[in-house]
Structure 1
Amino acid sequence: MWGDHMGSLVLPDADAAGDDRFDWFCETVYRDFMPVMLSTPSTADFRAGVRELDLGVVRLSSVACSPVVSRRTPTHVRRADPEYLQLGLISHGEVRVTQHGNDSVIAGGLVLTDTSRPSEGACTDGRIETVVLHIPRQALALSPDRVDGLLARSLSADAGSGAILADFLMTLHAQGPRCRPEERRAMGTVALDLATAFLARRLGDPGAAPGEARAQETLQRIYRFVESNLGDPGLTPGTIADRHSMSVRGVHRLFDDEPRTVAAHIRQSRLEHAHADLASGELSAQPVHVIAARWGFSSATGFSRAFRAAYGITPVEHRASSLVAPRHAVDRNTARSAHQSASAGPRFFAGDSATA
């Protein structure tokens, strides 16, 4: 079947000709995934659907399409490389994948590919449906050299961590669009952890993710979480700990070697955003306290005090000095243009008459 069972799919115009639908699919894959060459045995009855789900640290996409062959060449890699590892779950159909010297046929299992390497894939027997977890290379706390050995190999999802991961991805695919953004980000963290555990098990070492690397990844997730939630006045080390299933002491420990404590980082990030907004001419009509509240400051007095401590002037003084400078520049440019026009005399353009 095609349509509702895939959730909120992005579909081409159902009335479009087959050639147009295939062109749409090629453009969508090229734009939203990566440059790749696609071909199909028949464009006349080609059908496809694509969905994207932003999960914060990772992305989830689903693709359903008629038989298709893909080829990513070294030229494609040089042209654009999102630097993702793509962990695909083949939920329907059969696909042959070739990469890094490995060649496998996958039906109902998982397969790992790397956007930084050339690859080939083919589904020539009926439609293919797949759910793909896009993992940034730097987010996977496993040795790259060892992970490369798993590329384009058939990875069973019948039992153990593979079955758990597959079930989670399918549930996330079905229910994710109904979740709030903060819920999806939390689920993205879970998906990354499950994928890491699964791949570590396939490498023969469930503890293959080094403790230091995992700590760094957790730290980066916290930084991203903070940036996405600066407007929440309730953003504290305690809420960060709760959202990441950690103790408050564990959060503080992650920041031991960082330039600022977690609380200082939150405060400085809020101040930097407010500092930029106050200097923006487009936001000049917004009261200072509105801008302060946007970035998580619940007290106008507390914001003013913190701003002055950080920058040496009050928010009002900063806004006044920032907006005066551009206005003076405009006035000078206007005066200069007027002077040049007056001294240059008349100018004639194509279509004007130069005769008196």
Structure 2
Amino acid sequence: MTATTGPGNPDGEPGAGGKAEAAEAEERFESWRDLITLTRECEASTPHTDGFSAGLRRLELGPVTFLGTSFPSSRFRRTAARVRSSDPSVFHLTLLLNGGLDLSGPHGSGFASGAGELSVLDSSRPYDLRAFGARTAGSPRPRVDALGLDFPRALLPIAPDRLRRLLARSYRPQSGTGALLADFLHSLDRQADRIPPATAERLGPVLVDLVSAWLAEESEATDALEPDTRRRVLVENVRAFVRRNLHDPALTPTVIAEAHHVSVSYLHRVFTGENDGETVAAWIRRRRLEQAHRDLADPALRALPIHALAARCGIPRPDDFSRAFRAAYGLSPRDHRRQARSEDEWTQRQAAVDAPPTRGHGGPLA
């Protein structure tokens, strides 16, 4: 689900419509607030209701809700009285992309968070969260941009006493599972509109596993994770490692196992079990061929020789590449490139035929 509350006035002031436009802006704010509070039950307010504009993407991933939002500076309060009257027992994870967060919690707890940082809140604890917008090149007024996950507390397999000191803090994920989690959220945001419902249903548990592993690393309590969770997180880490190093012809199961501090036999057993029977080596080969298949059809890479393109995908021997490509796609790399080029040229010619006629240097004919 993608919802946009409307453009409003970029400077945050009522336009020529006066009261009518101000009323529309207030409605946009209320709509956005209602969508936010579907899973983040709190009191939301903003000093920018005049000309208010915001965007919100919601994606249901089984028991997990993904949020992508952009909005002006706002405040979110969850009081102790509200916690007592209604507690959905949900964790709120936020990856801040732009702007800043300042949270005040009970007993003087709190944190300040900047762009690129992760934080986790518990719906069972009161908080007062202020979000401050920052200007970007594409926005004429300060904005807060963030990605988030909301999921039931019961899904997180970490003991409450271990979790307590991890909440209401900010973290900058530069490596390990935290960085993998941040990358996953960015990818999910880019692909949100193209994820089939059946796939979305399966992604929720994967994300919870990543959150669990990340928090376990932060608390140095990886051993507290369930074995199934550790296996799934290892496989996600391996996939991310392969994608980053696909160009390296020396990328082998042995190298991957050493990088993840496991034995080759354990890597094979876990990866095959979590990847529908496909081995690590087969998955690397398939990803390389898929990348080469895309690159061969890319007009921007048309001048790059086929052997150089194959080497970029981690297959430096032309004969090996040609043989593997033909086995996978039923035609040679050269024929695939020629076919893609012909289809591209036909599309361009068709677009030219369909374009409206022009006269001189003027616009289209009336």
TM-score bracket for the superposition, by shorter chain length: 0.5 to 0.7
Aligned-residue sequence identity (percent) comes to: 30
Report 1:284-303 matches (<5 A). Answer: none
The answer to whether structure 1 residue 10 and structure 2 residue 3 are counterparts is yes
Question: Which amino acid in 2 is paired with 1:20?
Answer: E
Structure-2 change in CA distance of 1:100 and 1:244 (3 Å): farther
The answer to whether structure 1 residue 26 and structure 2 residue 33 are counterparts is yes
Give the distance between the partners of 1:59 and 1:85, measured in 2 at CA: 11
Give the distance between the partners of 2:180 and 2:222, measured in 1 at CA: 15
**Alpha-carbon deviation of 1:65?**
0.7
TM-score after normalising by structure 1: 0.55
In the other structure, the counterpart of 1:155 is 171
CA displacement, residues 13-54 of structure 1 (integer Å, 9 cap, x when unaligned): 446632222222222223x12431122223113221222111
Report 1:253-292 matches (<5 A). Answer: none
**Alpha-carbon deviation of 1:55?**
0.9
Structure ID, larger Rg? 1
Q: Aligned residue pairs: how many?
A: 215
In the other structure, the counterpart of 2:68 is 62
SS in structure 1 at match of 2:205: helix
SS in structure 1 at match of 2:3: coil
SS in structure 1 at match of 2:151: strand
In the other structure, the counterpart of 1:180 is 196
CA displacement, residues 205-259 of structure 1 (integer Å, 9 cap, x when unaligned): 22232559989xxxxxxxxxxxxxxxxxxxxxxxxx99982899xxxxxxxxxxx
The answer to whether structure 1 residue 104 and structure 2 residue 133 are counterparts is no
TM-score after normalising by structure 2: 0.53
The answer to whether structure 1 residue 50 and structure 2 residue 79 are counterparts is no
**Alpha-carbon deviation of 1:116?**
1.3
In the other structure, the counterpart of 2:100 is 94
Question: Which amino acid in 1 is paired with 2:27?
Answer: D
Question: Which amino acid in 2 is paired with 1:44?
Answer: D
Give the distance between the partners of 1:55 and 1:139, measured in 2 at CA: 13
Give the distance between the partners of 1:98 and 1:172, measured in 2 at CA: 30
CA contact (8 A) 1:161 1:194 kept: yes
Q: 1:115 aligns with which of 123, 146, 149?
A: 123
Question: Which amino acid in 1 is paired with 2:35?
Answer: T
**Structure 1 ranges of 4+ moved more than 6 A:** 212-215, 241-244
Q: CA RMSD for the aligned pairs?
A: 2.8
CA contact (8 A) 2:42 2:78 kept: yes
Question: Which amino acid in 2 is paired with 1:56?
Answer: G
**Alpha-carbon deviation of 1:185?**
2.1
Give the distance between the partners of 1:94 and 1:79, measured in 2 at CA: 30
In structure 2, stretches of 5+ residues that fail to align are 9-20, 134-141, 232-269, 278-366
In structure 1, stretches of 5+ residues that fail to align are 1-7, 216-240, 249-356
CA displacement, residues 273-323 of structure 1 (integer Å, 9 cap, x when unaligned): xxxxxxxxxxxxxxxxxxxxxxxxxxxxxxxxxxxxxxxxxxxxxxxxxxx
**Alpha-carbon deviation of 1:140?**
0.5
SS in structure 2 at match of 1:207: helix
**Alpha-carbon deviation of 1:189?**
2.2
Structure-2 change in CA distance of 1:242 and 1:202 (3 Å): closer
In the other structure, the counterpart of 1:298 is none
